[in-house]
Structure 1
Amino acid sequence: MDAPEQKQVRVSMARPGCGSKGQKIRLLTNHFNVKIANTEGFFFHYSVALYYEDGKPVEMKGVGRKVMDKIKETYSSEMGGKEFAYDGEKTLFTVGSLPRKKLEFTVLLDKVSSERTDGKSSPGGNGSPNESDKKRRKRVSQSKTFKVEISYATRIPIKAISDALRGIESEDFLDAVRVLDIVLRQHAANQGCLLVRQSFFRDDRNSDVLGGGVLGCRGHHSSFRATQSGLSLNMDGTLTTIVQPGPLIDFLLANQNVQDPYQLDWVKAKRTLKNLRIRVEPANIEWKICGLSEEICKRQKFTLRRRSAERGGENFEEIELTVYEYFAQQRNIKLRYSGDFPCVNVGKPKRPTYIPVELCSLLPLQRYTKALTVQQRSSLVEKSRQKPQDKIRTLTDAMRRSNYAAEPLLRTCGITINNEFMQVEGRVLAAPKLKFGDGEDFPRNGRWNVNRKRFSDPVKIKNWVVVNFSARCDIRNLCRDLVKFGRMKDIEFTDSPMCTFEEDPQYRRAPPPVRVDKMASQVKSRLPGPSTIILCVFADRKNSEIYGPWKKKALVELGVVSQCLAPQRVNEQYLTNLLLKINAKLGGLNHRLAVERNIPVLIDKPMIILGMDVSHGSPGQSGVPSIAAVVSSRPTSIYKYRASVRSQSPKVEMIDSLYKPLPGGKDGGIIRELLEEYYSSSDRPVKPSQVIIFRDGVSESQFKQVLNIEFEQILQACKALDESWSPKFTIIIAQKNHHTKFFEQGSPNNVPPGTVVDSKVCHPLYYDFYMCAQAGMIGTSRPTHYHVLLDEIGFSADQLQELIHSLSYVYQRSTTAISIAAPIRYAHLEATQVSQFLKYEDLSETSSGHGSMTSVGNPSVPEIPKLHDR
């Protein structure tokens, strides 16, 4: 019997060399050099298990750190006097070993929130007023006993770090750096910070009001990175959302934007408050919110067990009373307004402890994890912006306040961190010349003006239609000016729209899908024939709720491309931007590169560029399907792209429908669909011999999955199409979610557009570089971090950087160089737009059918509706 075939496991490629093109520039980066004196020691990894006194495992978050702090305080000698780094859950690290491989401790923790043990519901933080009776065995305990087991797991050589920095690969390296990152988390926890992965937030005084009872809290990100110049500490400013601390009722009023507690939606309040921590007056005790009472405070009853007045008070009696009566009679606390509202439950669902809402205050530094409104999100983005010089000051201050020199574990490793920003050399690539319909022009500072230029390849717009969703807008003048400026761009417009549809006023306050259905019915009944494009005018400028349902209706049922707009100030610039989108959507070209031969191998051999991205639901939205989008370039063009989109399981980052075998041997995957379309749309049908793949949105820990799962699917799709066809591949990951920034030495401005860095601060072994193609006009520019996982085509470093830089200038919807290669931006655009389709869907009622947009095999994931044949 033959041995089973060993599946090839691919790894990222090593750096072939650095680029040399471009004007050199001196930069600073927010990396700080780290030196390690003790490389001969070991990190010892221990597993931590926490149990209650009865042997049940502890599942509550946040208890672990308090328990481990108590162990450090009480059992220091048993721990050999060792400092340790604890991740807050099940992992602990020390430098050098603990005295024994297994240690067991019993810890008595003074409780910050009391919990009854008699199985009866209890209101209030102090239980019944008769606690002083020593004979009462089931009294409320103010402390809790925990059992802790610390067991040896493995050891990690510190030398793995210095080996990796010299280019010697080791599986221990990532583990060793993870230990150092956990040391930073422990250090921040000891300073009382809120921890969000590797970001730390010191206090909520450094916050901005975002509205709705939510604050944008400023903190800093801190993590260790391996670079060509050694280990570095990467420090960056960051922002998270927290709840406004203070009276609970004030937060709810702000969160729901109402003036009066009687207007509150308590069902919504229950969802918002779950798991938040409060302080209860007058006992000043902390609790975690479990839920709300079913009844209002004046009607919510519970059973109080108290000593009876008969026989000298030796017996107990049970009386039933309301929470309101208990606080008034037993605790002598007069409630002003809580009687008419639900109580906060700080016990358990089946063993509640009720507190009137007016006695509760939210504790500071608590994350707000619900979905943000459009206004909150835009405010958060605005508050996060800092000019380069302000960013440098913020990070210098964060380094000083963090005081890593005082961290005992870092000292034990012999780690010292330089307080000066690392100096690096960058190169500024020259912008490519652009070609328009009436001449050529060089972009200046990453921007170009098309106001007086003709489009490179304009379209004809014969039958066009306007639908107006109650926008107070002069539609006639808007259309007249659009035609006027369109003709200046060489777009052939008919003088006026074929039809204009106004929304029926009686539906203006109806739900978005209803408004869209009524408008679509109007369009269908009165439209004499198919139109070229529908201009859709909204009243809301920011993310109108009609957008998703309307886009779906237009593309699925009406079969017409639509352009949505919400005009505030209609001027030439506004209309030009609108025309850029319209011309590109209808298959035209606004501009192209003047010299395409500057991009290597584009002309010589047939080539296809793929852009891949996955869009997930917003934070706070669970169960929303993820949308995978792949775009592919057209034959002999790097300007036009076609998209294929699928839905897949929520929060899944790997695209699982690139290759999808169907009954009968057919492949229903994305790649085959795009390759067949590429082949059939070519003047001389030909299969591409070179495939360049740009993949967005994956972390470094997922690179192997891209190579061994996604790339494997792509190869299978190619083989299924033609067994003899084997093109060469280049795979590039683009990351925007990282924390490296660059600053031009001696300049208050952002780095110039076209800045590339591929030395000193990049990976010591693998092939990566940073590129800032865009001109940063607001805040501090964030470069894109490109990782080349595979390059069978064989680009030189200069050629690949030139290609990516040029692809930042061919995005047809913009008059500026964009921050990421255009294929990725198109894929992101498509995934985001299609995710709007499902926003108002009843997710159980999904359409079936196959086509350009469908779901992968998971039956629980709703399919994306099939597009109209047009």
Structure 2
Amino acid sequence: MQIIDRLQTDIAPQVFMPRAVYDGRRNMFTAQKLPFINATFAVTLIDPTPLGQVGIGGGASDSAKEYRVHLMHVAEINPRHLHRFLQGQQEHTNKVHTAVTALSVVIRMEPSLRYLFGVRSFYTSHEIRHIGGGLVLWRGYFQSLRPAIGRMFFNIDSSAAAMYQPGPLIDLCLSFLGQSNPAVLAPTCGFPDRDRARLRRFLYGLRVIATPPRQQAGRRNTPRVIKKVSSVGANALSFTMREGGTITVARYFQQTYDYTLRFPDIVCVEVGNGALIPMELCTVEPGQIVKKQIPPERSYDLLQFAKQKPSDRIASITAGLEVLAYGQSEYTRQFGLHVAPGARPLSVPARILPPPTLKCGVGSRQSEIVPRNGAWNMVNRRFFRPCVITRWAVVIYEREGRFNQRTAHEMVNGLVSAARGTGIIVHERDPVIRWEDGRGRIAEQLKDASRACHQKNQSAGFPDLMVIILPEGGGDIYRAVKHFGDVAAGVATQRMKSSKCSHAKAQYFVNVCLKINVKCGGINTIPEPSPVALMDPHIHTIAMGAHVIRPPPGPEGRPSFTSLVGNVDSDLVKYVATSRVQKSRQEVIDDIKDMAKDVIEKYINHRTNVEKAASPKPACIVLYRAGVSEGQSKQVLDHELPRLKEACAELNMDPKITIVLINKGHHVRFFPQSQSDADSSGNCQAGTVIDRDVTHPWGLDWYLQSQAGTSGTSRPSHYSVLYDDNKFSADNLQALSYALCHACARSTRSISIPAPVYYAGIVASRAIYQCEPEAIYQDDPEADHDSADSASAFMRAYKPLHRNMSSVMYFS
């Protein structure tokens, strides 16, 4: 931005009149034609000289750096295409997309020159929170320009982002490691390679200001980007000087600057130009967005910071209009955009859909449940089809001093009592209980527990259920447990955190039983059949959910994981899943044909062998597709739909297909206009649907807030019908979608998206557990995150589900 701004204001102001806008990458848009087709400009910026060697010589004076900017005319944008699209007279084409993109760049040009900019959000330091771990949270504003029926509108929302902690680099490193003594960064004092590797990955790409000793006050050096962390301290780290000979970093600063390092034993950082710089000379610039995945232990803090009560959020959004000052931007005026003075949030009509009636099992005090405010409970109610647990085992990875024999037996009694209260038949009241060390071989420990269960019950095979008690931070143990249960042994596993299940109330164990019942083949509740919601057993419908989980920011070459989930019963509550691994950051699902065949075959088998249906093949498939951006929707139509049809053809069936895209990653928020319209949290009520005024000009779409608010401001889900062979009405699809939001077995609340696509997200996110734990990247201190072999390694390590798991809801 600095180069383009200087080009337009100082180098060639007479050429860029009115000024052009720039997207920060390679596209520039102008309101009028420029007086050339191709042109190259030289732009000079002052670039302070870097810190003197440790590989590179230095000087004391600023140097001018010249940049070459080449501009070439590539296209003209005709606003008529956008106008016709907004009037619903043509579909969304590349020309429409380009016009919307250009206008989006126009409105963010002015704020991007004034505020810290990340993707489509602007951040200020007016409200910050230190959360430890080397992170600081900043609040900001998201903005985008969205098309609606007959008009464009600004979408503004409050947002939050994690920044690197500014100040001395040593302080940042100590905060990240949770330490206070700089000596912990010294290899000679036992700085572990594993922690050094974690620190290297955290610091990679961070900009620091390296200040030479005794530098003149007021001088600002060019930021340098950290690439590596040395394996030894400055007093043991040597390099070859240009004049010849070798010298340690500590000795170099002593000779060159007459400066004795305060911390000569701690590691150095290597910056982009190869220079090795002691940490004590580095300062972290404020306002650097962390583009890597936030550590799990800090995610909660970010979530809590981002949460705002509806009344606070709408006030923040309204204030954002003044902060971003669209109406005062010369760029918006020059491109003919008008922002009404005193603009206020848009008022739109909405409806509240009725919830489905849920049926419970025999022996319940009430056989039916009508959810209220998006919630219900299972008190005095039994599962519709409870499972049977003949033998089971408990493995505890918490220290016995914290989770002793008495606590373990209280937990077992509480779980058995809750299970029997919900109808689950538990034959064994005194399961095998073992304490194990999480640093050992998890699979062998679980096999030993299984053998002990076998000897106790004098029965062959693994237990029906293994309950695992984990300590805080037991993520590595959890992954190994799931690989053992889902892939190696084919046994249902249920994790409980020691802090949660110790002296827990009865309701906690009832919630755990919701998961256990379906993992062991049971059914919790079923919705009352409703033709309006397409849940009539005579329709023979498969509701599928498909998802793609891409790797987190940072690692390149890591694979994407895909999943497909579908019901096998006529009540749309019993689901099976399949998953795959594919190349990195690919949004279309390569193997959707084979995945669909797998799900449909299980549906046919269940309908034939369990429900004894005369016509077991589905007549209708509704696919909810998540994990795909709006710009990639055409690829879903071109790639996934034909393969879904091929799968059906190979099974000698021709069902009608409907594909609905679901997006939760948007920033559209809805607020009740009065307290009487709100739920107890101040949000819109569960079942609120908006399908007018702010919806897409072309095609059928709607926003549905299916969940009740708990804390913060609820986010509605956006549904877009991509393909519809069934010719469903909007009412039919909205009712089906809302009913399926009540079909999640692991909750007694309506969820934010339909159960099959919710399950698909879980399956895709935990598909990595199907990889052999020892065969994939496991914090190798010198592992290269950019390795092109990374995806191949995951593919080789990926194993199919155990056949025992393929027909149950192991993912619940």
TM-score by length of 1: 0.81
CA contact (8 A) 2:545 2:759 kept: yes
Which of the residues 571, 579, 583 maps onto 1:649? 583
Which of the residues 331, 338, 344 maps onto 1:416? 338
Whether 1:520 and 2:450 are equivalent positions in the alignment is no
Task: Note the C-alpha offset of 1:792.
Answer: 1.4
User: What corresponds to 2:43 in structure 1?
Assistant: 107
User: What corresponds to 2:756 in structure 1?
Assistant: 823
Q: Secondary structure at the match of 2:156?
A: strand
Q: Residues of 2 paired with 1:839 and 1:362: CA distance? A: 39
Q: Residues of 2 paired with 1:376 and 1:147: CA distance? A: 42
Q: Residues of 2 paired with 1:694 and 1:862: CA distance? A: 29
Q: Secondary structure at the match of 1:654?
A: coil
User: What corresponds to 1:184 in structure 2?
Assistant: 107
User: What corresponds to 1:850 in structure 2?
Assistant: none
CA contact (8 A) 2:165 2:286 kept: yes
CA contact (8 A) 1:95 1:413 kept: yes
Whether 1:736 and 2:675 are equivalent positions in the alignment is no
CA contact (8 A) 1:114 1:143 kept: no
What amino acid is aligned across from residue 377 of structure 2 in structure 1? N
Q: Secondary structure at the match of 1:795?
A: coil
User: What corresponds to 1:534 in structure 2?
Assistant: 465
User: What corresponds to 1:59 in structure 2?
Assistant: none
User: What corresponds to 2:188 in structure 1?
Assistant: none
CA contact (8 A) 2:107 2:331 kept: no
User: What corresponds to 2:184 in structure 1?
Assistant: 263
Q: What aligned pairs does 1:73-112 form with structure 2 within 5 A after superposition?
A: 73-112=9-48
Flag the 1:832–1:325 CA change in 2: closer, same or farther, 3 A: closer
Whether 1:230 and 2:151 are equivalent positions in the alignment is yes
Which of the residues 482, 492, 496 maps onto 1:551? 482
Which of the residues 620, 630, 653 maps onto 1:690? 620
CA contact (8 A) 1:78 1:99 kept: no
Higher mean displacement: 251-260 or 471-480: 471-480
Task: Note the C-alpha offset of 1:831.
Answer: 1.9
Structure 2: gaps of 5 or more residues:
186-190, 779-790, 805-812
Q: What aligned pairs does 1:431-830 form with structure 2 within 5 A after superposition?
A: 431-437=355-361, 438=364, 439-470=367-398, 472=403, 474-503=407-436, 507-510=437-440, 514-524=441-451, 527=454, 528-531=459-462, 533-541=464-472, 544-566=475-497, 567-600=501-534, 602-659=536-593, 669-682=594-607, 683-684=612-613, 686-722=616-652, 725-747=653-675, 749-830=682-763
For 1:435-491, what per-residue CA distance to the aligned partner results, in whole angstroms no more than 9, with x for missing partners? 212322321111111122122222222222222223615222222222222222222
Q: Residues of 2 paired with 1:435 and 1:601: CA distance? A: 14
Q: Residues of 2 paired with 1:569 and 1:627: CA distance? A: 38
Task: Note the C-alpha offset of 1:331.
Answer: 3.0
Flag the 1:115–1:359 CA change in 2: closer, same or farther, 3 A: closer
Flag the 1:781–1:839 CA change in 2: closer, same or farther, 3 A: farther
Higher mean displacement: 749-758 or 172-181: 172-181
CA contact (8 A) 1:548 1:839 kept: no
Task: Note the C-alpha offset of 1:645.
Answer: 1.5
Task: Note the C-alpha offset of 1:525.
Answer: 5.9
For 1:197-221, what per-residue CA distance to the aligned partner results, in whole angstroms no more than 9, with x for missing partners? 2112233x42222321012221111
What amino acid is aligned across from residue 550 of structure 1 in structure 2? V
User: What corresponds to 2:228 in structure 1?
Assistant: 291
What amino acid is aligned across from residue 442 of structure 1 in structure 2? V
Task: Note the C-alpha offset of 1:175.
Answer: 0.5
Task: Note the C-alpha offset of 1:819.
Answer: 0.8
Flag the 1:271–1:859 CA change in 2: closer, same or farther, 3 A: closer
For 1:75-119, what per-residue CA distance to the aligned partner results, in whole angstroms no more than 9, with x for missing partners? 234424331111222221111011222222222210145488xx9
**Aligned pairs, number:** 746
CA contact (8 A) 1:446 1:773 kept: yes
User: What corresponds to 2:129 in structure 1?
Assistant: 208
Q: Residues of 1 paired with 2:591 and 2:668: CA distance? A: 33
Flag the 1:557–1:300 CA change in 2: closer, same or farther, 3 A: closer
Which is richer in strand? 1
User: What corresponds to 1:274 in structure 2?
Assistant: 204
CA contact (8 A) 1:501 1:523 kept: no
Q: Residues of 2 paired with 1:232 and 1:834: CA distance? A: 39
TM-score by length of 2: 0.87
Q: Secondary structure at the match of 2:795?
A: coil
Flag the 1:550–1:74 CA change in 2: closer, same or farther, 3 A: same
Flag the 1:482–1:411 CA change in 2: closer, same or farther, 3 A: same
Q: Residues of 2 paired with 1:572 and 1:778: CA distance? A: 24
CA contact (8 A) 1:615 1:835 kept: no
Q: Residues of 1 paired with 2:112 and 2:48: CA distance? A: 18
- Percent of pairs with identical residues: 29
Flag the 1:868–1:89 CA change in 2: closer, same or farther, 3 A: closer
For 1:739-770, what per-residue CA distance to the aligned partner results, in whole angstroms no more than 9, with x for missing partners? 11000002271000000000001011121000
Higher mean displacement: 424-433 or 459-468: 459-468
Task: Note the C-alpha offset of 1:624.
Answer: 3.5
Higher mean displacement: 80-89 or 423-432: 80-89
Structure 1: gaps of 5 or more residues:
1-64, 132-139, 306-316, 660-668, 846-856
For 1:586-613, what per-residue CA distance to the aligned partner results, in whole angstroms no more than 9, with x for missing partners? 2222212234445336333322121111
Task: Note the C-alpha offset of 1:825.
Answer: 1.2
For 1:792-821, what per-residue CA distance to the aligned partner results, in whole angstroms no more than 9, with x for missing partners? 112211111111111111212111111111
Larger radius of gyration: 1
Flag the 1:508–1:454 CA change in 2: closer, same or farther, 3 A: closer
Q: Secondary structure at the match of 2:72?
A: strand
Task: Note the C-alpha offset of 1:183.
Answer: 2.2
Whether 1:199 and 2:109 are equivalent positions in the alignment is no
Q: Residues of 1 paired with 2:596 and 2:206: CA distance? A: 46
Which of the residues 269, 276, 280 maps onto 1:344? 269
Task: Note the C-alpha offset of 1:398.
Answer: 1.4
CA contact (8 A) 1:486 1:492 kept: yes
Q: Residues of 2 paired with 1:269 and 1:477: CA distance? A: 41
User: What corresponds to 1:157 in structure 2?
Assistant: 78
Q: Residues of 2 paired with 1:77 and 1:830: CA distance? A: 55
* CA RMSD after TM alignment: 2.6
Task: Note the C-alpha offset of 1:727.
Answer: 1.2
Q: What aligned pairs does 1:35-46 form with structure 2 within 5 A after superposition?
A: none
Q: Residues of 2 paired with 1:599 and 1:286: CA distance? A: 62
Q: Residues of 2 paired with 1:143 and 1:538: CA distance? A: 62
User: What corresponds to 1:370 in structure 2?
Assistant: 292
Higher mean displacement: 486-495 or 326-335: 326-335
CA contact (8 A) 1:480 1:495 kept: no
Flag the 1:323–1:673 CA change in 2: closer, same or farther, 3 A: closer
Q: Secondary structure at the match of 1:423?
A: coil
Which is richer in helix? 2
Flag the 1:318–1:731 CA change in 2: closer, same or farther, 3 A: closer
